[in-house]
Structure 1
Amino acid sequence: MRIIRYEENDAKEIVSLFYDTIHSVSLKDYTQKAVDAWAPIDEKESKVKTWKESLNQNITYVAKIDDGIVGFGDLTYSGYLDRLFVHKEHQRQGIATAIVELLETEAMQLNLIEIQTEASITAKPFFEQRGYNVICKQTVERKGVNLVNYKMVKRVK
């Protein structure tokens, strides 16, 4: 596995990975209705365009095995860990850990005090193991469906 900086031509594969992961891995913690609201299939193409822009503006890393993307994560310059996803067939192989370590190093180099994220039920244990603390449980609404996630923070300085 190698981890490299995001390039614009990665956007379509990243969005596909996001959809595949949500619609498979997240089903253990969310209902089908919730997963469909979180990652609506009819928005997949438009998400490529919007994510291409936001991934470009953030500090974004992509994990690849051979030439396929197996994970990605991004951090805003203000310290918000926006997205972190690993391919459904590459879970629990250290990919998310490697990406987060790079993002945390970037945060320290930017002299940020903390990193914040909003973790899904599925991702919460991963972040807790990495030293992130739950600030609060939240309910967010997507397409009329309520989804639970957790606002979390980690001090990096």
Structure 2
Amino acid sequence: MRFLIRKYRSDDAAATLAAFRRSVVGLASHDYDPEQIRTWAGQAGDLRQWDERRSSADTWVAVPEGNANALAGFIDVDGNGYIDMLFVDPDYARCGAASALLARVARRAAEQGAGELSVHTSITARPFFERRGFRVVQVRHPMIEGMSFVNYLMIRP
């Protein structure tokens, strides 16, 4: 499947928030317990807060070619090459959307002079990043609303 990668717009807020929540509930639930999933999916805030966060970041979305009304996923990157979020709707998992998004922000980070890409990734997403040259440099145990999670700091030169 092919995807158009374009900049995030405020009218993408509801679709990106839905993709985030559907991804956490539908994909990450194999690696985290139900209470962790509820906490993680609920920590995004309301739609206005979500839009403000996505608008203030360098956020990109993947739209399936031929279906401009659908949104497959989204990603963001800062000027240092840090990827804060990469989420794909489960309907588009393993279709190339995440790869296309990562390729776009890798180019963007290089254009901005970043020497590497880094990400704090979930157990679920770790294999995706490993297949794309990222390596684990730290196992982390962040707390969200008093609940401990496992994730990984991964870096790719």
TM-score, with structure 2 as normaliser: 0.91
SS at match of 2:86: strand
Q: How does 1:6-25 map to 2 (within 5 A)?
A: 6-25=8-27
Letter of the 2:128 counterpart: F
| 2:76 is the alignment partner of 1:74 | yes
SS at match of 1:93: coil
Per the TM alignment, residue 90 of structure 1 is displaced from its structure 2 partner at its CA by: 1.1
Letter of the 2:6 counterpart: I
Letter of the 1:51 counterpart: W
Q: How does 1:1-157 map to 2 (within 5 A)?
A: 1-40=3-42, 46-65=45-64, 66=67, 67-155=69-157
Contact 1:57–1:76 under 8 Å retained in 2: no
Per the TM alignment, residue 12 of structure 1 is displaced from its structure 2 partner at its CA by: 1.4
Say which structure is richer in strand: 1
Counterpart CA distance in 2 for 1:78 and 1:50 is: 23
What are the ranges of 5 or more consecutive residues in structure 1 without an aligned counterpart? none
Aligned pairs, number: 152
Cα-to-partner distance string for 1:84-130 (whole Å, 9 max, x where unaligned): 01111111111100000000000111111111110000000000111
Per the TM alignment, residue 31 of structure 1 is displaced from its structure 2 partner at its CA by: 0.6
Counterpart CA distance in 1 for 2:38 and 2:139 is: 21
Q: CA RMSD in A?
A: 1.3
What are the ranges of 5 or more consecutive residues in structure 2 without an aligned counterpart? none
Which shows bigger deviation, 54-63 or 94-103?
54-63
Counterpart CA distance in 2 for 1:100 and 1:52 is: 21
Contact 1:133–1:154 under 8 Å retained in 2: yes
Per the TM alignment, residue 57 of structure 1 is displaced from its structure 2 partner at its CA by: 2.3
Per the TM alignment, residue 51 of structure 1 is displaced from its structure 2 partner at its CA by: 2.5
Counterpart CA distance in 2 for 1:70 and 1:133 is: 26
